[in-house]
Structure 1
Protein backbone atom coordinates (compact mmCIF):
# COMPACT_ATOMS: atom_id res chain seq x y z
CA UNK A 1 0.00 0.00 0.00
CA UNK A 2 1.50 3.38 -0.99
CA UNK A 3 0.44 5.41 2.08
CA UNK A 4 3.15 5.25 4.73
CA UNK A 5 1.90 7.88 7.18
CA UNK A 6 -0.96 10.28 7.93
CA UNK A 7 -0.58 12.67 10.87
CA UNK A 8 -2.62 15.54 12.25
CA UNK A 9 -1.00 18.40 14.15
CA UNK A 10 -3.28 20.70 16.14
CA UNK A 11 -0.38 22.98 17.07
CA UNK A 12 0.52 23.72 13.44
CA UNK A 13 -3.03 23.14 12.13
CA UNK A 14 -1.98 20.58 9.53
CA UNK A 15 -2.76 17.12 8.24
CA UNK A 16 0.16 15.46 6.42
CA UNK A 17 -0.05 12.41 4.18
CA UNK A 18 3.04 10.63 2.83
CA UNK A 19 2.95 7.95 0.15
CA UNK A 20 5.82 6.07 -1.51
CA UNK A 21 5.44 4.47 -4.95
CA UNK A 22 7.70 2.48 -7.27
CA UNK A 23 7.23 4.86 -10.19
CA UNK A 24 9.29 7.86 -11.34
CA UNK A 25 8.45 11.40 -10.26
CA UNK A 26 7.20 12.44 -13.68
CA UNK A 27 4.69 9.56 -13.72
CA UNK A 28 3.41 10.47 -10.25
CA UNK A 29 3.18 14.12 -11.32
CA UNK A 30 1.05 13.21 -14.35
CA UNK A 31 -1.31 11.20 -12.15
CA UNK A 32 -2.09 14.33 -10.11
CA UNK A 33 -2.20 16.84 -12.95
CA UNK A 34 -4.24 15.02 -15.63
CA UNK A 35 -7.93 14.86 -14.67
CA UNK A 36 -8.68 11.49 -16.28
CA UNK A 37 -5.84 10.00 -14.23
CA UNK A 38 -6.66 11.92 -11.04
CA UNK A 39 -10.29 10.89 -10.97
CA UNK A 40 -9.28 7.21 -10.85
CA UNK A 41 -8.06 7.57 -7.26
CA UNK A 42 -9.05 10.97 -5.82
CA UNK A 43 -12.24 9.56 -4.33
CA UNK A 44 -12.05 6.62 -1.88
CA UNK A 45 -13.56 3.26 -2.90
CA UNK A 46 -17.30 3.67 -3.26
CA UNK A 47 -16.99 7.42 -3.94
CA UNK A 48 -15.22 7.74 -7.33
CA UNK A 49 -14.44 11.25 -8.52
CA UNK A 50 -15.34 12.92 -11.80
CA UNK A 51 -13.57 16.16 -12.75
CA UNK A 52 -15.76 18.42 -14.88
CA UNK A 53 -13.21 21.25 -15.13
CA UNK A 54 -9.43 21.34 -14.74
CA UNK A 55 -7.63 24.59 -15.63
CA UNK A 56 -4.13 23.75 -14.45
CA UNK A 57 -2.68 27.27 -14.24
CA UNK A 58 -2.15 29.72 -11.42
CA UNK A 59 -5.54 31.33 -10.84
CA UNK A 60 -7.32 28.47 -12.65
CA UNK A 61 -9.94 26.22 -11.10
CA UNK A 62 -10.84 22.54 -10.98
CA UNK A 63 -14.31 21.24 -10.17
CA UNK A 64 -15.09 17.67 -9.19
CA UNK A 65 -17.78 15.50 -7.65
CA UNK A 66 -17.40 12.24 -5.75
CA UNK A 67 -20.50 10.07 -6.14
CA UNK A 68 -21.77 7.59 -3.54
CA UNK A 69 -23.17 4.14 -4.44
CA UNK A 70 -26.67 5.61 -4.25
CA UNK A 71 -25.82 8.55 -6.55
CA UNK A 72 -25.34 11.18 -3.83
CA UNK A 73 -22.67 13.73 -4.91
CA UNK A 74 -20.06 15.36 -2.70
CA UNK A 75 -18.63 18.29 -4.67
CA UNK A 76 -15.37 20.15 -4.36
CA UNK A 77 -13.39 22.88 -6.03
CA UNK A 78 -9.71 23.79 -6.28
CA UNK A 79 -8.18 27.16 -7.01
CA UNK A 80 -4.58 26.72 -8.16
CA UNK A 81 -2.38 29.04 -6.08
CA UNK A 82 1.13 28.01 -7.16
CA UNK A 83 2.73 25.57 -9.60
CA UNK A 84 6.38 24.46 -9.70
CA UNK A 85 6.30 22.27 -12.80
CA UNK A 86 7.18 18.67 -12.04
CA UNK A 87 7.87 19.34 -8.37
CA UNK A 88 4.88 20.77 -6.50
CA UNK A 89 1.61 22.67 -6.68
CA UNK A 90 -0.73 24.32 -4.19
CA UNK A 91 -4.50 24.67 -4.23
CA UNK A 92 -7.24 26.21 -2.15
CA UNK A 93 -9.58 23.26 -1.59
CA UNK A 94 -13.24 23.82 -0.69
CA UNK A 95 -16.51 21.93 -0.49
CA UNK A 96 -18.74 23.24 -3.27
CA UNK A 97 -22.34 23.47 -4.45
CA UNK A 98 -23.66 22.32 -7.83
CA UNK A 99 -22.35 25.54 -9.42
CA UNK A 100 -18.82 25.06 -8.08
CA UNK A 101 -19.18 27.79 -5.46
CA UNK A 102 -17.60 27.12 -2.02
CA UNK A 103 -20.00 26.19 0.77
CA UNK A 104 -19.77 28.64 3.65
CA UNK A 105 -20.68 26.06 6.32
CA UNK A 106 -17.57 23.97 5.57
CA UNK A 107 -13.92 24.99 5.91
CA UNK A 108 -11.65 25.85 2.99
CA UNK A 109 -8.12 24.48 3.19
CA UNK A 110 -4.80 25.22 1.54
CA UNK A 111 -3.20 22.04 0.21
CA UNK A 112 0.36 21.54 -1.00
CA UNK A 113 1.31 18.52 -3.13
CA UNK A 114 5.07 17.82 -3.36
CA UNK A 115 6.74 15.13 -5.49
CA UNK A 116 10.28 13.92 -4.76
CA UNK A 117 12.54 11.21 -6.10
CA UNK A 118 13.48 8.31 -3.82
CA UNK A 119 15.86 5.38 -4.15
CA UNK A 120 13.00 3.10 -5.21
CA UNK A 121 10.74 5.53 -7.06
CA UNK A 122 9.06 8.68 -5.79
CA UNK A 123 7.28 10.14 -2.78
CA UNK A 124 4.11 12.20 -2.47
CA UNK A 125 3.88 14.63 0.44
CA UNK A 126 0.44 16.18 0.80
CA UNK A 127 0.10 18.83 3.52
CA UNK A 128 -3.29 20.36 4.27
CA UNK A 129 -3.28 23.67 6.18
CA UNK A 130 -6.31 24.60 8.26
CA UNK A 131 -7.35 28.00 9.62
CA UNK A 132 -8.38 26.73 13.06
CA UNK A 133 -8.41 23.70 15.32
CA UNK A 134 -12.17 23.55 14.84
CA UNK A 135 -11.80 23.33 11.07
CA UNK A 136 -9.22 20.55 11.36
CA UNK A 137 -11.39 18.60 13.80
CA UNK A 138 -14.47 19.05 11.62
CA UNK A 139 -12.75 17.57 8.57
CA UNK A 140 -11.22 14.72 10.58
CA UNK A 141 -14.65 13.93 12.06
CA UNK A 142 -15.98 13.66 8.50
CA UNK A 143 -13.56 10.78 7.84
CA UNK A 144 -10.74 12.63 6.09
CA UNK A 145 -7.93 10.50 7.52
CA UNK A 146 -9.31 7.08 6.58
CA UNK A 147 -10.83 8.40 3.35
CA UNK A 148 -7.48 9.83 2.27
CA UNK A 149 -5.71 6.59 3.10
CA UNK A 150 -8.15 4.49 1.10
CA UNK A 151 -8.05 6.91 -1.84
CA UNK A 152 -4.26 7.21 -2.09
CA UNK A 153 -3.80 3.48 -1.64
CA UNK A 154 -5.33 3.15 -5.11
CA UNK A 155 -2.26 4.84 -6.65
CA UNK A 156 -0.47 1.60 -7.56
CA UNK A 157 -3.21 0.62 -10.00
CA UNK A 158 -3.06 4.03 -11.68
CA UNK A 159 0.71 4.34 -11.99
CA UNK A 160 1.33 1.01 -13.71
CA UNK A 161 0.33 -0.39 -17.08
CA UNK A 162 -2.83 -2.44 -16.50
CA UNK A 163 -1.67 -5.47 -18.44
CA UNK A 164 1.71 -5.45 -16.72
CA UNK A 165 0.16 -5.06 -13.27
CA UNK A 166 -2.80 -7.46 -13.52
CA UNK A 167 -2.16 -9.91 -16.37
CA UNK A 168 -2.15 -13.49 -15.09
CA UNK A 169 -3.16 -12.57 -11.54
CA UNK A 170 -6.74 -13.75 -11.98
CA UNK A 171 -9.42 -12.60 -9.56
CA UNK A 172 -7.88 -10.70 -6.64
CA UNK A 173 -9.68 -10.21 -3.30
CA UNK A 174 -8.70 -7.48 -0.82
CA UNK A 175 -10.20 -6.98 2.65
CA UNK A 176 -10.42 -3.20 3.07
CA UNK A 177 -12.08 -3.27 6.49
CA UNK A 178 -14.60 -5.35 8.45
CA UNK A 179 -17.42 -4.85 5.96
CA UNK A 180 -15.77 -3.83 2.67
CA UNK A 181 -14.11 -6.17 0.17
CA UNK A 182 -12.57 -5.08 -3.14
CA UNK A 183 -12.31 -7.58 -5.98
CA UNK A 184 -10.33 -6.80 -9.14
CA UNK A 185 -10.02 -8.70 -12.41
CA UNK A 186 -8.42 -7.64 -15.70
CA UNK A 187 -10.56 -8.79 -18.63
CA UNK A 188 -8.89 -8.89 -22.05
CA UNK A 189 -11.53 -7.01 -24.00
CA UNK A 190 -12.95 -3.53 -24.64
CA UNK A 191 -15.08 -1.86 -21.98
CA UNK A 192 -18.22 -1.49 -24.10
CA UNK A 193 -18.34 -5.22 -24.77
CA UNK A 194 -17.47 -6.17 -21.18
CA UNK A 195 -20.24 -3.85 -19.98
CA UNK A 196 -22.73 -5.44 -22.39
CA UNK A 197 -21.70 -8.92 -21.23
CA UNK A 198 -22.69 -7.89 -17.69
CA UNK A 199 -26.06 -6.45 -18.71
CA UNK A 200 -27.35 -8.49 -21.67
CA UNK A 201 -29.20 -11.62 -20.44
CA UNK A 202 -28.28 -13.71 -23.48
CA UNK A 203 -24.58 -12.95 -23.02
CA UNK A 204 -24.74 -13.39 -19.25
CA UNK A 205 -26.10 -16.92 -19.72
CA UNK A 206 -22.98 -17.81 -21.70
CA UNK A 207 -20.41 -17.02 -19.04
CA UNK A 208 -21.78 -16.05 -15.62
CA UNK A 209 -21.97 -19.67 -14.49
CA UNK A 210 -19.26 -20.36 -11.92
CA UNK A 211 -17.77 -23.88 -12.00
CA UNK A 212 -18.42 -26.22 -14.93
CA UNK A 213 -21.74 -28.03 -14.80
CA UNK A 214 -23.86 -25.06 -13.82
CA UNK A 215 -26.25 -23.16 -16.08
CA UNK A 216 -28.23 -19.95 -15.68
CA UNK A 217 -31.91 -20.78 -16.04
CA UNK A 218 -33.35 -17.35 -15.22
CA UNK A 219 -31.88 -13.90 -15.92
CA UNK A 220 -33.86 -10.71 -15.44
CA UNK A 221 -32.12 -7.32 -15.69
CA UNK A 222 -33.37 -3.80 -15.02
CA UNK A 223 -34.43 -1.82 -11.97
CA UNK A 224 -35.11 -5.12 -10.21
CA UNK A 225 -32.96 -8.07 -11.24
CA UNK A 226 -33.03 -11.81 -10.60
CA UNK A 227 -30.53 -14.53 -11.54
CA UNK A 228 -31.08 -18.26 -10.95
CA UNK A 229 -28.70 -21.20 -11.59
CA UNK A 230 -28.95 -25.00 -11.47
CA UNK A 231 -26.39 -27.81 -11.66
CA UNK A 232 -26.46 -30.51 -14.36
CA UNK A 233 -30.09 -29.77 -15.20
CA UNK A 234 -31.33 -30.70 -11.72
CA UNK A 235 -34.07 -28.30 -10.49
CA UNK A 236 -33.41 -29.40 -6.90
CA UNK A 237 -30.03 -27.63 -7.01
CA UNK A 238 -31.44 -24.24 -7.96
CA UNK A 239 -30.34 -21.12 -6.15
CA UNK A 240 -30.18 -17.47 -7.09
CA UNK A 241 -29.78 -13.83 -6.18
CA UNK A 242 -32.02 -10.84 -6.57
CA UNK A 243 -31.79 -7.15 -5.83
CA UNK A 244 -32.38 -3.58 -6.85
CA UNK A 245 -30.29 -1.46 -9.19
CA UNK A 246 -29.26 1.72 -7.36
CA UNK A 247 -27.06 3.44 -9.94
CA UNK A 248 -26.39 2.87 -13.65
CA UNK A 249 -23.71 4.98 -15.37
CA UNK A 250 -23.08 3.19 -18.68
CA UNK A 251 -20.39 2.02 -19.38
CA UNK A 252 -18.51 3.12 -16.26
CA UNK A 253 -20.38 2.02 -13.15
CA UNK A 254 -23.22 -0.14 -11.92
CA UNK A 255 -24.38 -0.35 -8.28
CA UNK A 256 -26.96 -2.81 -6.95
CA UNK A 257 -28.13 -4.54 -3.80
CA UNK A 258 -27.93 -8.32 -3.61
CA UNK A 259 -29.38 -11.07 -1.44
CA UNK A 260 -29.95 -14.77 -1.88
CA UNK A 261 -33.48 -15.60 -3.01
CA UNK A 262 -35.56 -16.89 -0.14
CA UNK A 263 -33.15 -15.77 2.58
CA UNK A 264 -34.01 -13.24 5.26
CA UNK A 265 -31.65 -10.55 6.49
CA UNK A 266 -29.92 -7.49 5.03
CA UNK A 267 -28.52 -7.21 1.52
CA UNK A 268 -24.99 -6.57 0.37
CA UNK A 269 -24.24 -3.57 -1.88
CA UNK A 270 -22.22 -4.34 -5.02
CA UNK A 271 -20.44 -1.42 -6.70
CA UNK A 272 -18.94 -2.48 -10.06
CA UNK A 273 -16.68 -0.11 -12.02
CA UNK A 274 -15.25 -0.58 -15.52
CA UNK A 275 -12.02 1.08 -16.72
CA UNK A 276 -10.43 0.47 -20.13
CA UNK A 277 -6.78 0.85 -21.09
CA UNK A 278 -5.09 -0.46 -24.24
CA UNK A 279 -8.05 -2.69 -25.15
CA UNK A 280 -8.28 -4.36 -21.73
CA UNK A 281 -10.90 -3.64 -19.06
CA UNK A 282 -10.22 -3.51 -15.34
CA UNK A 283 -13.25 -4.62 -13.33
CA UNK A 284 -13.34 -3.34 -9.75
CA UNK A 285 -16.11 -4.70 -7.53
CA UNK A 286 -16.54 -3.11 -4.10
CA UNK A 287 -18.82 -5.18 -1.88
CA UNK A 288 -20.29 -3.76 1.33
CA UNK A 289 -21.47 -6.45 3.75
CA UNK A 290 -23.82 -5.84 6.68
CA UNK A 291 -21.25 -7.20 9.16
CA UNK A 292 -17.96 -9.08 9.41
CA UNK A 293 -19.69 -12.41 10.04
CA UNK A 294 -21.60 -12.18 6.76
CA UNK A 295 -18.42 -11.13 4.96
CA UNK A 296 -16.44 -14.12 6.20
CA UNK A 297 -19.29 -16.58 5.61
CA UNK A 298 -19.70 -15.54 1.96
CA UNK A 299 -15.97 -15.46 1.22
CA UNK A 300 -15.64 -18.96 2.69
CA UNK A 301 -18.05 -20.34 0.06
CA UNK A 302 -15.33 -20.09 -2.59
CA UNK A 303 -16.96 -17.09 -4.23
CA UNK A 304 -13.67 -15.86 -5.70
CA UNK A 305 -12.96 -19.22 -7.35
CA UNK A 306 -16.40 -19.20 -8.93
CA UNK A 307 -15.89 -15.67 -10.19
CA UNK A 308 -12.53 -16.60 -11.72
CA UNK A 309 -14.07 -19.54 -13.56
CA UNK A 310 -16.76 -17.22 -14.91
CA UNK A 311 -14.34 -14.50 -16.04
CA UNK A 312 -12.10 -17.03 -17.77
CA UNK A 313 -15.21 -18.23 -19.61
CA UNK A 314 -16.12 -14.62 -20.46
CA UNK A 315 -12.77 -14.11 -22.17
CA UNK A 316 -12.86 -17.49 -23.89
CA UNK A 317 -16.46 -17.74 -25.06
CA UNK A 318 -17.80 -14.22 -25.34
CA UNK A 319 -14.98 -11.80 -26.06
CA UNK A 320 -13.02 -14.03 -28.46
CA UNK A 321 -16.22 -14.74 -30.39
CA UNK A 322 -17.08 -11.04 -30.76
Structure 2
Protein backbone atom coordinates (compact mmCIF):
# COMPACT_ATOMS: atom_id res chain seq x y z
CA UNK A 1 0.00 0.00 0.00
CA UNK A 2 1.16 3.56 -0.73
CA UNK A 3 3.02 4.82 2.32
CA UNK A 4 2.26 8.14 3.95
CA UNK A 5 5.63 9.56 2.98
CA UNK A 6 4.62 9.41 -0.71
CA UNK A 7 1.36 11.31 -0.34
CA UNK A 8 3.05 14.63 -1.06
CA UNK A 9 3.74 13.43 -4.61
CA UNK A 10 0.00 13.29 -5.38
CA UNK A 11 -1.50 16.58 -6.65
CA UNK A 12 -3.54 18.14 -3.84
CA UNK A 13 -6.72 18.44 -5.91
CA UNK A 14 -6.54 14.78 -6.95
CA UNK A 15 -5.91 13.60 -3.40
CA UNK A 16 -8.81 15.69 -2.10
CA UNK A 17 -11.04 14.28 -4.81
CA UNK A 18 -10.11 10.69 -3.98
CA UNK A 19 -10.75 11.26 -0.25
CA UNK A 20 -14.12 12.90 -1.01
CA UNK A 21 -15.23 10.09 -3.33
CA UNK A 22 -14.20 7.41 -0.85
CA UNK A 23 -15.88 9.23 2.04
CA UNK A 24 -19.14 9.53 0.11
CA UNK A 25 -18.79 5.91 -0.99
CA UNK A 26 -18.39 4.72 2.60
CA UNK A 27 -21.38 6.80 3.72
CA UNK A 28 -23.47 5.23 0.98
CA UNK A 29 -22.78 1.68 2.16
CA UNK A 30 -22.62 2.33 5.91
CA UNK A 31 -26.32 1.71 6.48
CA UNK A 32 -25.96 -1.99 5.74
CA UNK A 33 -23.26 -2.71 8.29
CA UNK A 34 -22.25 -2.09 11.88
CA UNK A 35 -18.68 -1.02 12.74
CA UNK A 36 -17.13 -1.68 16.14
CA UNK A 37 -13.85 0.24 16.42
CA UNK A 38 -10.55 -0.11 18.22
CA UNK A 39 -10.84 -3.47 19.94
CA UNK A 40 -7.63 -4.75 21.52
CA UNK A 41 -6.84 -8.25 20.28
CA UNK A 42 -4.11 -9.05 22.78
CA UNK A 43 -4.88 -11.35 25.71
CA UNK A 44 -5.21 -9.20 28.88
CA UNK A 45 -2.18 -10.86 30.45
CA UNK A 46 0.06 -9.79 27.55
CA UNK A 47 -1.25 -6.27 26.97
CA UNK A 48 1.69 -3.86 27.35
CA UNK A 49 1.58 -1.16 30.00
CA UNK A 50 1.75 1.46 27.25
CA UNK A 51 -0.58 0.02 24.57
CA UNK A 52 -0.68 1.66 21.14
CA UNK A 53 -3.10 1.49 18.24
CA UNK A 54 -0.95 -1.19 16.62
CA UNK A 55 -2.73 -3.92 18.61
CA UNK A 56 -6.25 -2.83 17.69
CA UNK A 57 -8.81 -4.09 15.19
CA UNK A 58 -12.19 -3.05 13.81
CA UNK A 59 -15.11 -5.40 13.17
CA UNK A 60 -17.68 -4.79 10.42
CA UNK A 61 -20.83 -6.90 10.79
CA UNK A 62 -23.92 -7.19 8.60
CA UNK A 63 -26.88 -5.67 10.44
CA UNK A 64 -28.93 -8.76 9.69
CA UNK A 65 -27.76 -11.69 11.82
CA UNK A 66 -27.46 -15.25 10.51
CA UNK A 67 -28.35 -17.82 13.21
CA UNK A 68 -25.56 -20.09 11.99
CA UNK A 69 -22.93 -17.34 12.00
CA UNK A 70 -21.39 -15.65 8.99
CA UNK A 71 -17.98 -16.34 7.44
CA UNK A 72 -15.17 -14.13 8.70
CA UNK A 73 -12.59 -12.34 6.55
CA UNK A 74 -9.62 -10.88 8.45
CA UNK A 75 -7.82 -8.27 6.34
CA UNK A 76 -4.13 -7.33 6.81
CA UNK A 77 -3.02 -4.02 5.30
CA UNK A 78 0.13 -3.50 3.26
CA UNK A 79 2.70 -0.74 3.51
CA UNK A 80 6.18 -2.16 2.93
CA UNK A 81 6.24 -3.54 6.50
CA UNK A 82 6.81 0.00 7.80
CA UNK A 83 3.55 1.89 7.25
CA UNK A 84 -0.22 1.52 6.87
CA UNK A 85 -3.26 1.62 9.12
CA UNK A 86 -6.57 -0.21 9.43
CA UNK A 87 -8.46 3.10 9.28
CA UNK A 88 -7.67 3.41 5.57
CA UNK A 89 -9.73 0.30 4.84
CA UNK A 90 -13.12 1.00 6.43
CA UNK A 91 -14.75 0.96 3.02
CA UNK A 92 -13.38 -2.54 2.40
CA UNK A 93 -14.81 -3.71 5.72
CA UNK A 94 -18.19 -2.25 4.87
CA UNK A 95 -18.14 -3.81 1.38
CA UNK A 96 -17.52 -7.24 2.86
CA UNK A 97 -20.22 -6.78 5.50
CA UNK A 98 -22.75 -5.58 2.91
CA UNK A 99 -22.10 -8.75 0.93
CA UNK A 100 -22.67 -11.09 3.87
CA UNK A 101 -19.32 -11.61 5.61
CA UNK A 102 -18.05 -10.36 8.96
CA UNK A 103 -14.90 -8.34 8.25
CA UNK A 104 -12.05 -7.84 10.71
CA UNK A 105 -9.53 -5.14 9.75
CA UNK A 106 -6.37 -5.17 11.87
CA UNK A 107 -3.32 -3.14 12.77
CA UNK A 108 0.00 -4.73 13.62
CA UNK A 109 3.37 -3.42 14.76
CA UNK A 110 5.67 -2.04 12.09
CA UNK A 111 9.34 -1.69 11.23
CA UNK A 112 11.69 -0.30 12.49
CA UNK A 113 10.14 -0.86 15.92
CA UNK A 114 9.84 -4.60 15.33
CA UNK A 115 10.82 -7.16 12.71
CA UNK A 116 8.53 -9.38 10.64
CA UNK A 117 8.39 -12.31 13.13
CA UNK A 118 6.72 -9.96 15.65
CA UNK A 119 4.34 -8.71 12.94
CA UNK A 120 3.36 -12.30 12.13
CA UNK A 121 2.77 -12.99 15.82
CA UNK A 122 0.52 -9.91 16.04
CA UNK A 123 -1.53 -11.17 13.10
CA UNK A 124 -1.80 -14.62 14.68
CA UNK A 125 -2.99 -13.01 17.91
CA UNK A 126 -5.70 -11.20 15.94
CA UNK A 127 -6.84 -14.51 14.45
CA UNK A 128 -6.82 -16.06 17.94
CA UNK A 129 -9.01 -13.20 19.16
CA UNK A 130 -11.45 -13.92 16.32
CA UNK A 131 -11.71 -17.60 17.31
CA UNK A 132 -12.72 -16.54 20.82
CA UNK A 133 -14.87 -13.45 20.23
CA UNK A 134 -16.15 -13.19 16.66
CA UNK A 135 -19.40 -15.02 17.49
CA UNK A 136 -20.31 -11.95 19.59
CA UNK A 137 -20.37 -9.98 16.32
CA UNK A 138 -22.29 -12.54 14.26
CA UNK A 139 -19.28 -14.39 12.86
CA UNK A 140 -18.59 -18.12 12.70
CA UNK A 141 -15.31 -18.93 14.53
CA UNK A 142 -15.01 -22.11 12.47
CA UNK A 143 -14.93 -20.16 9.19
CA UNK A 144 -12.07 -17.68 9.50
CA UNK A 145 -10.29 -16.63 6.31
CA UNK A 146 -7.33 -14.26 5.97
CA UNK A 147 -6.78 -11.66 3.29
CA UNK A 148 -4.06 -9.13 2.61
CA UNK A 149 -2.51 -6.80 0.06
CA UNK A 150 1.22 -6.35 -0.57
CA UNK A 151 3.13 -6.97 2.68
CA UNK A 152 -0.22 -7.89 4.22
CA UNK A 153 -0.68 -10.52 1.54
CA UNK A 154 2.60 -12.13 2.51
CA UNK A 155 1.56 -12.15 6.16
CA UNK A 156 -1.81 -13.66 5.24
CA UNK A 157 -0.06 -16.42 3.29
CA UNK A 158 2.18 -17.07 6.29
CA UNK A 159 -0.84 -17.39 8.60
CA UNK A 160 -2.41 -19.91 6.23
CA UNK A 161 0.70 -22.06 5.90
CA UNK A 162 2.77 -21.85 9.11
CA UNK A 163 0.93 -23.73 11.86
CA UNK A 164 3.64 -22.92 14.40
CA UNK A 165 2.49 -19.31 14.52
CA UNK A 166 -0.58 -20.58 16.35
CA UNK A 167 0.94 -23.31 18.50
CA UNK A 168 3.34 -20.68 19.84
CA UNK A 169 0.41 -18.65 21.17
CA UNK A 170 -1.44 -21.60 22.65
CA UNK A 171 -3.82 -22.78 19.91
CA UNK A 172 -3.95 -26.51 19.24
CA UNK A 173 -4.39 -26.08 15.49
CA UNK A 174 -4.34 -23.48 12.75
CA UNK A 175 -7.85 -21.95 12.55
CA UNK A 176 -7.35 -20.37 9.10
CA UNK A 177 -9.65 -21.97 6.53
CA UNK A 178 -8.36 -20.14 3.46
CA UNK A 179 -6.45 -17.12 2.18
CA UNK A 180 -7.04 -14.37 -0.37
CA UNK A 181 -3.72 -12.88 -1.50
CA UNK A 182 -3.93 -9.57 -3.38
CA UNK A 183 -0.65 -8.72 -5.13
CA UNK A 184 1.24 -10.25 -2.19
CA UNK A 185 4.79 -9.29 -1.25
CA UNK A 186 7.30 -11.30 0.74
CA UNK A 187 6.36 -14.78 -0.48
CA UNK A 188 10.02 -15.78 -0.76
CA UNK A 189 12.24 -13.28 1.06
CA UNK A 190 14.91 -15.95 1.47
CA UNK A 191 15.55 -16.00 -2.28
CA UNK A 192 14.92 -12.26 -2.65
CA UNK A 193 17.39 -11.12 -0.01
CA UNK A 194 20.06 -13.57 -1.14
CA UNK A 195 19.97 -12.10 -4.65
CA UNK A 196 19.50 -8.38 -3.90
CA UNK A 197 18.59 -7.75 -7.55
CA UNK A 198 16.93 -4.36 -7.30
CA UNK A 199 18.18 -0.93 -6.20
CA UNK A 200 17.40 -0.23 -2.56
CA UNK A 201 16.84 -3.87 -1.60
CA UNK A 202 18.97 -3.39 1.50
CA UNK A 203 16.01 -1.48 3.02
CA UNK A 204 14.35 -4.86 3.63
CA UNK A 205 17.12 -5.87 6.00
CA UNK A 206 15.41 -3.55 8.50
CA UNK A 207 12.12 -5.50 8.78
CA UNK A 208 13.62 -8.92 8.00
CA UNK A 209 16.98 -8.60 9.75
CA UNK A 210 20.26 -10.11 8.57
CA UNK A 211 19.74 -13.75 9.53
CA UNK A 212 18.96 -15.91 6.44
CA UNK A 213 17.21 -18.47 8.64
CA UNK A 214 14.67 -15.77 9.56
CA UNK A 215 14.24 -14.82 5.90
CA UNK A 216 13.34 -18.42 5.15
CA UNK A 217 11.12 -18.87 8.19
CA UNK A 218 9.12 -15.75 7.29
CA UNK A 219 8.64 -16.87 3.66
CA UNK A 220 5.36 -18.71 2.95
CA UNK A 221 7.06 -20.48 0.03
CA UNK A 222 8.74 -22.87 2.49
CA UNK A 223 5.66 -23.60 4.60
CA UNK A 224 3.06 -24.37 1.94
CA UNK A 225 1.92 -28.01 1.79
CA UNK A 226 -0.40 -30.12 -0.33
CA UNK A 227 -3.02 -29.86 2.43
CA UNK A 228 -2.65 -26.13 3.02
CA UNK A 229 -5.95 -24.23 3.12
CA UNK A 230 -7.28 -23.13 -0.28
CA UNK A 231 -5.84 -19.89 -1.64
CA UNK A 232 -6.93 -17.29 -4.15
CA UNK A 233 -3.84 -15.54 -5.53
CA UNK A 234 -4.17 -12.35 -7.58
CA UNK A 235 -1.43 -10.34 -9.26
CA UNK A 236 -1.64 -7.17 -11.34
CA UNK A 237 -0.47 -7.37 -14.94
CA UNK A 238 1.69 -4.28 -14.41
CA UNK A 239 2.73 -4.79 -10.78
CA UNK A 240 6.31 -4.58 -9.53
CA UNK A 241 8.68 -7.08 -11.22
CA UNK A 242 9.62 -8.65 -7.87
CA UNK A 243 5.97 -9.39 -7.01
CA UNK A 244 5.23 -10.65 -10.53
CA UNK A 245 8.18 -13.05 -10.29
CA UNK A 246 7.55 -14.32 -6.76
CA UNK A 247 3.83 -14.91 -7.33
CA UNK A 248 4.59 -16.95 -10.46
CA UNK A 249 7.07 -19.06 -8.52
CA UNK A 250 4.58 -19.45 -5.67
CA UNK A 251 1.91 -20.55 -8.13
CA UNK A 252 4.30 -23.12 -9.59
CA UNK A 253 5.06 -24.47 -6.12
CA UNK A 254 1.35 -24.80 -5.36
CA UNK A 255 0.83 -26.63 -8.65
CA UNK A 256 3.69 -29.03 -7.91
CA UNK A 257 2.20 -29.84 -4.51
CA UNK A 258 -1.33 -30.15 -5.81
CA UNK A 259 -2.48 -27.54 -3.29
CA UNK A 260 -5.96 -26.09 -3.76
CA UNK A 261 -5.68 -22.64 -5.27
CA UNK A 262 -6.42 -20.35 -8.19
CA UNK A 263 -3.92 -17.93 -9.74
CA UNK A 264 -5.28 -14.90 -11.56
CA UNK A 265 -3.47 -12.11 -13.40
CA UNK A 266 -5.70 -9.02 -13.52
CA UNK A 267 -5.17 -7.11 -16.77
CA UNK A 268 -3.99 -3.51 -16.68
CA UNK A 269 -3.57 -3.27 -12.91
CA UNK A 270 -0.56 -1.83 -11.09
CA UNK A 271 0.25 -2.59 -7.46
CA UNK A 272 -1.78 0.18 -5.81
CA UNK A 273 -4.77 -0.33 -8.10
CA UNK A 274 -4.90 -3.95 -6.96
CA UNK A 275 -6.17 -2.79 -3.56
CA UNK A 276 -8.08 0.36 -4.52
CA UNK A 277 -10.31 -1.75 -6.78
CA UNK A 278 -11.68 -3.30 -3.58
CA UNK A 279 -13.32 0.02 -2.71
CA UNK A 280 -15.90 -0.88 -5.36
CA UNK A 281 -18.14 -3.90 -4.98
CA UNK A 282 -18.21 -5.45 -8.44
CA UNK A 283 -14.80 -6.93 -9.13
CA UNK A 284 -13.42 -10.42 -9.64
CA UNK A 285 -11.77 -10.64 -6.21
CA UNK A 286 -15.04 -10.15 -4.35
CA UNK A 287 -16.86 -12.57 -6.66
CA UNK A 288 -14.30 -15.31 -6.05
CA UNK A 289 -13.93 -14.50 -2.34
CA UNK A 290 -17.64 -14.83 -1.62
CA UNK A 291 -17.65 -18.31 -3.18
CA UNK A 292 -14.55 -19.39 -1.24
CA UNK A 293 -15.83 -18.28 2.17
CA UNK A 294 -19.33 -19.60 1.55
CA UNK A 295 -21.47 -16.50 1.73
CA UNK A 296 -25.09 -17.47 1.16
CA UNK A 297 -26.52 -16.01 -2.08
Which bin holds the TM-score, normalised by the shorter protein?
under 0.3
Bigger relative contact order (CA 8 A; separation at least 6): 2
- Give the TM-score of the pair, scaled to structure 1: 0.24
Which protein has the larger Cα radius of gyration, Structure 1 or Structure 2?
1
Q: Which has the higher helix share?
A: 2
Q: Which has the higher strand share?
A: 1
